[in-house]
């Protein structure tokens, strides 16, 4: 029975302001106090609220919040209970992502005292991180909707003939500091090579497929020939 | 090397014989009955007890034997009351001198004691014959009248025999056991005179031995062996042995080659 | 000395012994998982003739090279695909010289997990009935001979003491096995492809696994390197332990065997016969029917014993009075 693929493999286009697939946003909690983290859908409907306590002596240095857990009833994932409370240390990192579902989710951080908005994930601020994992080969446009800035990214097709016998190892992730502009105009990535964008100003990043790359046309035939060769070798050995 | 071997001791055979005598008396008591007033009377020399096995007959019927010259038939009986067999070396019976004891190699000895009883021919036999013809005019004149005896004249006979087993044809022919023949070396009946009568009786005894008693014995042993094995097989006497079947060490022995079917 | 003795040599004993084996089919099945692959087997065997019987000391004999005839051999296999994690890395790491958690990863990007729920491929069925004629297996066993009274018989039993099932050997001289294995691997690869709906993702996964094709990935999981027969034998003997499965079936079948030989007890000297009443006289009670049954004359079998003496099985017994 085929299982459903995780959204990291199926969600191709990514948006830091509408989290889905492999898109992650990391925000640092530098102020001590009590906060409310609203989990929201596109139409700004609040699906859940998490109480965040930031303390000088808090023990947790990071927290991970799956925004889609609030949307799925009966989920047993971490933070399945929408009214969960979290206590973290001052300076802790908050990682937001949405592991399932297609509707983009975002989070709004409010003060617990007066509910004033302190941070909105639809507009990242300096030192926030946008982390994602390009998988599907093709040409993409990486853009900052707010500045605006653009960068062309080519996710290369994993042709085994290029590196026969070698594993496509998990290459090192790309770590980019992004100001008004991207530091490069174009970039080549391997599928499964992670990208960390470290923004220095307001940002809303989108990563959109422009042209899919379905690989060399002769690759399928090459694989068939490989199989035939493998069987022929086996049979030859067998007959000895 | 033979596939299968079987043997039985003479002592066991003698025990079996005594055992059987009590339980199947009809095998040891042969009677041609007398007819008195139309009723059969089974005259014997001595009483035979009932078999413990139930309603078992005591006697096997014999035909009366005719008297030369007189159209009558005589009731008689033969009752075997002791039979013993002895395989070489001799230890069960003592042979009379006429049979040159001791028992030879591969020979067996047999001693049988029986009572013979014969009805006496009455004085008025002629009148009896005439009476019966008058009463039954349609009766075939040549059929003899059974003498209406009420008792028998009895006498004991002891007979000895020695012999050996001989295989007739070469082993390998079908039905090898049928090829086993009994050769009688000598027969001696004690205390019969004149000599001619003794010879006649001895002749009769030889025939009984060769025709009935001994083949049954050998066949019995073969069937004991194969039947006991409980499977279907074709059998042959093993070739190349000095004697097969053999009579030695107080046993009757047989070696067979077997093909399991 | 006993009243009666008879002996049977090794060859005849073997011929009779062989006839006794039940020709029933003995079914068995079993399975085992070894890492990402699991194997199941379903088979049926029957016992054929013994190769050789050797009489040992006084009451045991050794049976060697008794062939096992195969009637059915079906191999099932399946794969528990190992989870493949793509793109997991550390986003933020504590500096090495930090007073606490130095060098530890603070924020980790989990990446994506393929086959995270451990999906199964299979069961793929390899019907090996076509190569049954080339599957060779044998047993050897040690038996004890004994005689005991059972109902109206003295029965000579061969009681099994130990059985050894030899490892199975496959001699596929005709070369049918590779075709069967190939078909199975193709079936498995179709199923695996069904789990990965995008061709580009298949290629990404293959790149990560380090195999040019799914077929070769599966062959690697199955650990088929060269000799298919050697592989099959390893699967049957080591992975599944067919010899152990067979052992139990055969042991029980052999245990329930009938006696090897049997002797009537009581032993009839004069068999029961139906005879004509007119031929006999002196009935204790008159018989009114024209024929009647004369009961058999039989004696008890006593002191029955059976033993081996060099190359012969020797049975002896005495007759006793009832």
Strand partners, B185: none
Instruction: Provide the domain count of chain A.
Output: 1
The per-residue pLDDT for A77 is 36
Beta carbons of B205 and B196 less than 8 angstroms apart: no
CA of B209 vs chain C CAs: smallest distance (Å): 18
The per-residue pLDDT of chain C, averaged, comes to 84
Q: Is residue C146 in a domain?
A: yes
Q: Is residue C137 in a domain?
A: yes
The whole domain housing A30 covers 7-212
Distance of alpha carbon C234 from alpha carbon C166, whole angstroms: 13
Bridge-based pairing of strands A24-29 and C312-320 is unpaired
Tokens of B60: 């096997």
Residue C210: list chain A partners with CB under 8 A: 165-168
Element containing residue C69 per DSSP (H, E): strand C60-80
Q: Is residue C203 in a domain?
A: yes
B166 contacts chain C (CB < 8 A) = no
pLDDT digits over B180-217, tens only?
A: 667 788 888 887 767 777 777 777 767 776 666 666 66
CB contact under 8 Å between C282 and B59, yes or no, is: yes
Bridge-based pairing of strands B233-237 and B251-260 is antiparallel
Q: Which of C163, C165, C139, C159 is nearest to C258 (CA)?
A: C159
User: What is the edge-to-edge ordering of all strands in the sheet holding A92-97?
Assistant: A62-66, A92-97, A24-29, A129-132, A195-199, A174-178
The per-residue pLDDT for A31 is 93
Across the A/C interface, how many CB contacts are shorter than 8 Å?
A: 151
What is the DSSP-derived secondary structure letter of residue A134? Answer: -
Measure CB to CB from residue A61 to each of C106, C177, C212 and give the nearest one: C106
- CA B146 to mean position of chain CA atoms: 25
pLDDT digits over A203-216, tens only?
A: 999 999 999 999 88
Q: Is residue C66 in a domain?
A: yes
pLDDT digits over A124-169, tens only?
A: 999 999 999 999 999 999 999 998 899 999 998 888 887 643 555 6
**Residue A74 pLDDT class (50, 70, 90 cuts):** very low
Tokens of C70: 């195969």
Residue finishing a domain among C209, C237, C262? C262
Q: CA-CA distances (angstroms) from residue C153 to B37, B219, B257, C20, C291?
A: 51, 21, 25, 17, 29
Tokens of C265: 């007890």
Are residues C30 and C139 both part of a single domain? yes
Residue A76: list chain C partners with CB under 8 A: none
Q: Is residue A102 in a domain?
A: yes
Are residues C149 and C16 both part of a single domain? yes
Chain B contact probe: residue of C8, C157, C268, C282 with most B CBs at under 10 A: C282
Chain C contact probe: residue of A4, A9, A127, A225 with most C CBs at under 10 A: A9
Q: Is residue A1 in a domain?
A: no
Beta carbons of B6 and C316 less than 8 angstroms apart: no
B26 contacts chain C (CB < 8 A) = yes
Are residues C32 and C153 both part of a single domain? yes
ipTM of model: 0.84
Instruction: Provide the domain count of chain C.
Output: 2
Distance of alpha carbon C133 from alpha carbon B99, whole angstroms: 70
Chain A contact probe: residue of C81, C103, C112 with most A CBs at under 10 A: C112
The per-residue pLDDT for B64 is 81
Measure CB to CB from residue B231 to each of C19, C285, C287 and give the nearest one: C19
Are residues C50 and C150 both part of a single domain? yes
Q: Is residue A217 in a domain?
A: no
pLDDT at C218 over 60: yes
pLDDT at C154 over 90: no
Are residues C99 and C245 both part of a single domain? no
B105 contacts chain C (CB < 8 A) = no
Bridge-based pairing of strands A62-66 and A92-97 is parallel
Residue A226: list chain C partners with CB under 8 A: 212-213, 216
Are residues C171 and C106 both part of a single domain? no
Under 8 Å CB-to-CB from B3, ≥6 apart: which residues? B238, B256, B257, B258, C8, C9, C11, C12
Q: Identify the burial level of C184 via C-beta atoms within 10 angstroms of its C-beta, where 0-12 means exposed, 13-18 middle and 19 or more buried.
A: buried
Could you give the percent of chain C with pLDDT greater than 70? 96
Per the confidence metrics, is the pTM higher than 0.90? no
Coil, helix or strand at residue A179? coil
Residue C209: list chain A partners with CB under 8 A: 167
Q: Which of B155, B185, B201 is nearest to B247 (CA)?
A: B185
Beta carbons of B20 and B53 less than 8 angstroms apart: no
Cis amide linkage into residue B102, ω under 30° from 0? yes
Q: Which residue of A has its CA nearest to C183?
A: A231
Residue B20: list chain C partners with CB under 8 A: 269-270, 297
The whole domain housing C103 covers 82-115
The per-residue pLDDT for A42 is 73
């Amino acid at each position: 029975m085929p299982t459903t693929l995780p959204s990291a493999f199926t969600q191709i286009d990514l948006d830091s302001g509408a989290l889905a697939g492999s898109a992650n946003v990391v925000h640092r909690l530098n102020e001590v106090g009590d906060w409310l983290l609203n989990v929201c859908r596109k139409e700004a409907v609040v699906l859940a609220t998490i109480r965040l306590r930031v303390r000088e002596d808090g023990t947790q240095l990071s927290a991970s919040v799956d925004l889609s857990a609030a949307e799925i009833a009966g989920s047993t994932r971490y933070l399945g209970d929408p009214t969960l409370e979290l206590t973290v240390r001052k300076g802790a990192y908050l990682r937001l992502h949405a592991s399932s579902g297609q509707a983009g989710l975002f989070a709004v951080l409010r003060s617990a005292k007066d509910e004033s908005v302190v941070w909105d994930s639809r507009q990242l601020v300096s030192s926030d991180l946008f982390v994602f994992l390009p998988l599907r080969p093709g040409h993409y446009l990486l853009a900052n909707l707010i500045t605006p800035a653009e960068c062309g990214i080519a996710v290369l097709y994993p042709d085994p003939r290029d590196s026969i016998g070698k594993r496509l190892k998990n290459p090192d992730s790309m770590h980019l500091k992004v100001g008004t502009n991207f530091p490069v105009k174009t970039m080549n990535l391997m599928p499964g090579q992670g990208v960390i964008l470290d923004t220095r100003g307001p940002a809303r990043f989108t990563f959109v497929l422009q042209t899919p790359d379905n690989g060399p046309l002769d690759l399928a035939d090459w694989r068939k020939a490989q199989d035939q060769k493998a069987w022929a070798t086996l049979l030859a050995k067998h007959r000895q | 090397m033979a596939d299968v071997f079987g043997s039985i001791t003479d002592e066991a055979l003698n025990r079996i014989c005594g055992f059987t005598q009590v339980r199947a008396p009809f095998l040891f008591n042969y009677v041609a009955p007398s007819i008195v007033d139309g009723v059969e009377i089974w005259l014997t020399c001595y009483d035979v007890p009932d078999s413990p096995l139930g309603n078992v007959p005591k006697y096997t019927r014999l035909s009366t034997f005719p008297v030369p010259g007189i159209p009558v038939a005589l009731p008689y009986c033969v009752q075997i009351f002791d039979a013993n067999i002895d395989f070489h070396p001799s230890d069960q019976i003592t042979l009379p001198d006429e049979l040159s004891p001791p028992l030879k190699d591969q020979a067996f000895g047999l001693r049988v004691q029986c009572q013979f009883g014969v009805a006496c021919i009455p004085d008025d036999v002629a009148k009896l014959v005439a009476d019966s013809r008058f009463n039954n005019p349609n009766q075939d004149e040549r059929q003899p009248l059974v003498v209406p005896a009420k008792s028998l004249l009895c006498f004991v006979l002891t007979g000895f025999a020695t012999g050996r087993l001989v295989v007739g044809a070469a082993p390998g022919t079908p039905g090898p056991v049928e090829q086993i023949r009994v050769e009688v070396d000598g027969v001696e009946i004690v205390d019969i005179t004149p000599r001619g009568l003794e010879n006649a009786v001895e002749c009769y005894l030889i025939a009984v031995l060769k025709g009935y008693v001994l083949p049954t014995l050998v066949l019995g042993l073969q069937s004991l062996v194969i039947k006991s094995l409980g499977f279907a097989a074709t059998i042959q006497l093993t070739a190349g042995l000095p004697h097969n079947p053999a009579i030695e060490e107080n046993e009757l022995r047989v070696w067979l080659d077997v093909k399991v079917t | 000395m006993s009243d009666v003795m008879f002996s049977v040599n090794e060859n005849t004993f073997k011929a009779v012994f062989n006839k006794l084996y039940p020709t029933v089919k003995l079914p068995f099945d079993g399975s085992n998982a070894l890492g990402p692959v699991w194997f199941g087997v379903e088979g049926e065997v029957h016992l054929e003739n013994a190769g050789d019987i050797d009489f040992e000391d006084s009451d045991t004999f050794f049976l060697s090279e008794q062939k096992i005839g195969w009637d059915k051999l079906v191999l099932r296999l399946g794969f528990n695909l190992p989870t493949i994690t793509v793109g997991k890395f550390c986003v933020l790491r504590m500096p090495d010289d930090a007073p606490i958690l130095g060098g530890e990863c603070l924020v980790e990007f989990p990446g994506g997990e393929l086959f995270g729920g451990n999906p199964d491929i299979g069961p793929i069925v390899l019907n090996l009935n076509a190569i049954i004629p080339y599957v060779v297996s044998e047993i050897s066993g040690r038996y004890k001979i004994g005689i005991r009274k059972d109902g109206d018989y003295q029965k000579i039993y061969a009681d099994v003491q130990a059985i050894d099932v030899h490892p199975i050997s496959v001699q596929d001289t005709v070369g049918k096995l590779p075709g069967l294995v190939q078909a199975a691997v193709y079936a498995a690869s179709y199923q695996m492809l069904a789990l990965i709906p995008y061709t580009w993702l298949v290629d990404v996964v293959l790149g990560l696994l380090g195999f040019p094709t799914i077929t070769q990935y599966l062959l690697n999981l199955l650990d088929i390197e060269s000799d298919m027969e050697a592989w099959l034998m390893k699967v049957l003997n080591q992975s599944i332990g067919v010899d152990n499965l067979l052992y139990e079936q055969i042991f029980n079948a052999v245990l329930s065997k009938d006696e090897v030989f049997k002797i009537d007890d009581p032993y009839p000297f004069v068999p029961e016969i139906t005879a004509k009443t007119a031929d006999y006289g002196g009935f204790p009670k008159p018989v009114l029917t024209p024929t009647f049954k004369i009961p058999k004359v039989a004696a008890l079998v006593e002191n029955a014993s059976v033993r081996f003496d060099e190359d012969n099985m020797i049975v002896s017994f005495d007759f006793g009075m009832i």
